[in-house]
Each structure stands twice: as structure tokens, then as C-alpha cells.
């Protein structure tokens, strides 16, 4: 089995969906979460507050308000899934993208070095 983060992206400046649409999205994501749990692939998931609530810590320890990257696309939430392979992760990502009505990036974790 391999673990993959399925990352939900938000685009700065896009209009926020109407309240009723947001409720539909929340319900769809809840159903998707239940499906991932039932499949045994669930490891962890979470939604994030908007990027403007971020604080970035630099190497020298100084902090700045806001996200590290100057980008219109920001991470909005994620799932960590444990599945057989990339194809299985992509299959879940398609369902997740449909549920949250936004792009979902799939990227494998790096392999851990073998202990010597």
C-alpha cells in the first residue's frame, strides 16, 4: 500500500459559492469522506482556513503574516489516503474533486530511506 495526499486547491479571487451551494458541497464532501473511510483508505483529512490566515516562519525564525508563496492558487484542504497504487489514488481524487467542486492534486509521498 502507498499513501498519497489528495490536495484541494482554491483560487484567490474566485467568487465564494452561495450559502446553499456551499451546504451542498459540504454534504457531498461528507459523503465522500464516509466512502473513503468505508473503503479502508482513510488516513487523515482536513480543510484549511483561507491563505490570508497563514503565518510563515522563515529559517531565521522571523514570521510574516500570510502564505509563503505569492500565488493565486492555495491549498484549501486535503485527504491522506492509503491505497494500492496511483490509479486507486486517482480514482478517489476524481470523486473528491466532484464532491468539492474543485481541482484535486495527487502526489505520492517520498519513500522513506531504509534503516541501516
Q: pLDDT grade, residue 26 (50/70/90)?
A: very high
Q: pLDDT grade, residue 16 (50/70/90)?
A: confident
Report yes or no: 6 and 96 within 8 Å, Cβ to Cβ: yes
Give the tens place of pLDDT for each residue, 47-61.
Answer: 888 878 888 888 999
Q: What is the 3-class SS of 30-84, one letter each residue?
A: HHHHHHHHHHCCEEEEEECCCHHHCEEECCCCCEEECCCCCCCEEEEEEEEEEEC
In this structure, which CATH number among 1.25.40.10, 3.40.718.10, 3.30.70.1060, 3.40.630.30 belongs to the domain 2-106? 3.30.70.1060
Task: Report percent pLDDT > 90 for the chain.
Answer: 58
Q: In whole angstroms, what is the distance from residue 18 CA to residue 58 CA? A: 37
Give the tens place of pLDDT for each residue, 80-101.
Answer: 999 999 999 999 999 999 999 9
pLDDT at position 19 over 90: yes
Residue 69, pLDDT score: 66
Report yes or no: 6 and 108 within 8 Å, Cβ to Cβ: no
Amino acid at each position: 500500500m502507498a499513501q498519497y495526499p489528495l490536495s484541494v486547491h482554491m483560487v484567490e479571487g474566485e467568487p465564494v459559492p452561495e450559502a446553499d451551494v456551499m451546504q451542498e458541497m459540504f454534504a457531498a464532501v461528507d459523503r465522500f469522506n464516509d466512502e473513503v473511510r468505508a473503503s479502508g483508505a482513510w488516513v487523515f483529512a482536513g480543510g484549511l482556513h483561507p491563505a490570508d490566515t497563514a503565518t510563515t516562519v522563515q529559517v531565521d525564525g522571523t514570521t510574516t503574516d500570510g502564505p509563503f508563496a505569492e500565488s493565486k492558487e492555495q491549498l484549501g484542504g486535503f485527504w491522506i489516503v492509503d491505497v494500492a497504487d496511483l490509479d486507486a489514488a486517482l480514482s478517489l481524487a476524481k470523486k473528491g474533486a466532484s464532491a468539492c467542486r474543485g481541482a484535486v492534486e495527487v502526489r505520492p509521498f517520498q519513500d522513506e530511506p531504509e534503516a541501516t
